[in-house]
Amino acid sequence: MKASRTVTLAGLLLASLLGASAAHADSMLGSYVARISERDHQASDGYALDSAAQMVRQDRANWHKFHRRDSDDEGDSWFTTNDERADLQRMLERPGAMSASTKRAIVNGEPLIRVDVYENSVRVSILEN
């Protein structure tokens, strides 16, 4: 009985250390605020976008490439190139990046969002609908 308890405690300690290590592996780099406006609902060539991930990516293209900025938009240093914005979209499409209600708010409206940027992921939340 004592040996199995020691193994269990050692296993818990190892799991705890691995969990802490994983949390540090995706440390926060910073965040920015942006208004997802009607101009962010359309691609640069005018066609309508249909996903929240595409719209958040377009917001960054509008900021960095086209200098079409909403008054609530803040700059960022992570998504300055097209390749970095493609990475942003891929991260936004992962489970956990945005809740279903956040996605709906972006697709169906013009919310103010906060994008938390981590080394390997992003998370979007609604500040104001």
pTM for the whole thing? 0.81
Please give the angle made by the CA atoms of 112, 103 and 123, to the nearest 5 degrees: 70
Q: What is the pLDDT at residue 59? A: 98
Q: Select from 117, 65, 127 the least CA-distant residue to 91.
A: 117
Cβ partners under 8 Å of residue 29, min gap 6: 78, 117, 118, 119
Return the SS3 of 53: helix
Return the SS3 of 28: strand
**The two structure tokens encoding residue 51:** 């996903």
pLDDT tens for the 129 residues of the chain, in order: 555 444 454 554 455 555 544 445 799 999 999 999 999 999 999 999 999 999 999 999 999 999 999 999 999 999 999 999 999 999 999 999 999 999 999 999 999 999 999 999 999 999 999
In whole angstroms, give the CA distance from residue 98 to residue 88: 12
